[in-house]
Amino acid sequence: MPMKDRIYWVMSSIGVYTVKSGYKLAKIRKRKEEQRGTRAEHGCSMSWATLSWNSVWRMNMKPELQHFIWRCLNGILPVNALIMDRCSKGNFLCKCCGENPETIEHLFFFCNSAQEIWKTAPLDWDGLKNFRSKFWLWWEEMKDAVREEKGRERIELTVHLLWQIWKSRNGVQFNNKRREPVVAVSKAVLEWREYMEAQEEGDKAGWGLIARDWQGEVKGAWAVPSTSCSNAKVEEAKALRLAMLVAKQNGWRRVEFESDCLQVINDINSTNDEAVRCTVISDIRKLKYRFDECCFAFTKRENNSVSHTLARKALQMECPAEWKECFPGWLLELAHADCKGSCPFFSVSWIAYH
Ligand SMILES: [Zn+2]
């Protein structure tokens, strides 16, 4: 579950950080810096913020991570020293070590907690030690590695590590919970791998979702195009996660989810934490608690023909399609054949086209 920031964000009227208010602050900062002539100091015709901005958006990573790096580069990540500086609120010290002002640089490079994470990580940037006094300067140097062999992958993994350092920090800051460095590192590596794998095969894929009520009546159907991933299990789990979000959006509180991938259902239902080999499964386990009643069951492919057909249709689509209230004849016919009177479910299917 995403953690709620309890920080008052001075740039927005409602006191919480929004992208719009982030842009506003970045703009003001940029203008100030230009006035101070820092552009000339860095010897480039574009400001460093613009350069870094472009480099961030060209990177192959989740938009959430791109936005996170962008906030770091623009000095607007809400670290304690910045909040103190902007709103004279809170404690400017780093809660992880309790010794130093929490600046972005302290958070990522100098705090003991961060250093432990870097020591455990499968890569190092020891050659950039001299650039750590300013995060953006370090970033500018680090991203030059893109020209080296496997450089792009290293940079992308680095972003995942920075993100996990931030997450570990938030755990201490807001919940007084410390995470072992190895947990942060394995989470970074896992998420990075999953994302890479999903990108590797650019083939098309499709998800099909169908929702029924307890009488077996169709309540909604969705065909969602996606890019295929090398791991079919992860894709099936993603389709299930999507079904859960759709169910939540529709206000359905008691839901049974079905999938024709037995392994995914077993992983979700297992009480063993070892089964959480992918972050999607752990998302599903967390989402489960947002329902009054929610269970997961396996269904045979033969009994799942509507969602399978929807998944196949999604392959031909550019944008997701949704049917509610009014359904095409073929869908109702297949739904009737699948249901055979007594098996109400929200079932999902995934198909890849290679
Ligand atoms: Zn610290």
Kindly tell me if the per-residue pLDDT of 149 is higher than 80.
yes
Which residues touch 285 (CB under 8 Å, ≥6 apart)?
268, 276
One-letter amino acid for residue 118 of the chain: W
Q: How confident is the model at residue 143 (pLDDT cuts 50, 70, 90)?
A: confident
The percent of residues above 90 in pLDDT, for the chain, comes to 25
Q: 189 CA to middle of ligand 1, Å?
A: 23
One-letter amino acid for residue 277 of the chain: R
Q: 120 CA to middle of ligand 1, Å?
A: 17
Q: How confident is the model at residue 346 (pLDDT cuts 50, 70, 90)?
A: low
Q: 162 CA to middle of ligand 1, Å?
A: 15
State mean pLDDT over 160-174: 96
Q: 96 CA to middle of ligand 1, Å?
A: 5
Nearest to 112 by CA among 165, 63, 67, 68: 165
Q: 178 CA to middle of ligand 1, Å?
A: 13
Q: 138 CA to middle of ligand 1, Å?
A: 19
Task: Please calculate the CA angle 48-53-57 and round it to the nearest 5 degrees.
Answer: 155
Q: 243 CA to middle of ligand 1, Å?
A: 41
**CATH 3.30.420 domain span(s) along the chain:** 204-352
Q: What are phi and psi of 244, to 5 degrees?
A: -65, -40
pTM, two decimal places: 0.50
More confident position, 203 or 139: 139
Residue 107: the pLDDT is 97
Q: 165 CA to middle of ligand 1, Å?
A: 11
Q: 166 CA to middle of ligand 1, Å?
A: 12
| Burial status of residue 51 (CB atoms within 10 A of its CB: 0-12, 13-18, 19 or more) | middle
Question: CA-to-CA distance for 258 and 266, rounded, in angstroms?
Answer: 12
| Burial status of residue 54 (CB atoms within 10 A of its CB: 0-12, 13-18, 19 or more) | exposed
Rounded to the nearest 10 degrees, what angle do helices 329-339 and 305-314 cross at?
140
Q: 134 CA to middle of ligand 1, Å?
A: 16
Nearest to 264 by CA among 295, 289, 296: 296
- Mean of the per-residue pLDDT values for the chain? 78
Q: 28 CA to middle of ligand 1, Å?
A: 28
Nearest to 163 by CA among 11, 28, 3: 3
Q: How far is CA 80 from its chain centroid?
A: 24
Kindly tell me if the per-residue pLDDT of 352 is higher than 70.
no
State mean pLDDT over 204-212: 83
Residue 351: the pLDDT is 59
Residue 135: the pLDDT is 93
Residue 182: the pLDDT is 94
Distances (CA, A) of 39 to 22, 31, 56, 138, 155: 21, 10, 19, 17, 25
Q: 32 CA to middle of ligand 1, Å?
A: 29
Q: 100 CA to middle of ligand 1, Å?
A: 6
Q: 183 CA to middle of ligand 1, Å?
A: 18
Least confident window among 87-91, 300-304, 319-323: 300-304
Which residues touch 81 (CB under 8 Å, ≥6 apart)?
92, 101, 102, 103, 106
State mean pLDDT over 87-109: 94
Q: 335 CA to middle of ligand 1, Å?
A: 57
Q: 109 CA to middle of ligand 1, Å?
A: 9
204-352 CATH pick, 1.10.3470, 2.160.20, 3.30.420, 1.10.287: 3.30.420
Q: 175 CA to middle of ligand 1, Å?
A: 16
Least confident window among 96-110, 193-207, 257-271, 311-325: 193-207
Dihedral, CA of residue 173, residue 21, residue 156 and residue 56, to nearest 10: -160
Nearest to 298 by CA among 341, 267, 334, 331: 267
How is 25-85 classified by DSSP, letter by letter? HHHHHHHHHHHHTHHHHTT-SS-HHHHHHHHHHHSSS-HHHHHHHHHHHTT-S--HHHHHH
Q: 212 CA to middle of ligand 1, Å?
A: 52
Q: How confident is the model at residue 42 (pLDDT cuts 50, 70, 90)?
A: very low
Question: CA-to-CA distance for 297 and 180, rounded, in angstroms?
Answer: 34
Question: CA-to-CA distance for 103 and 80, rounded, in angstroms?
Answer: 7
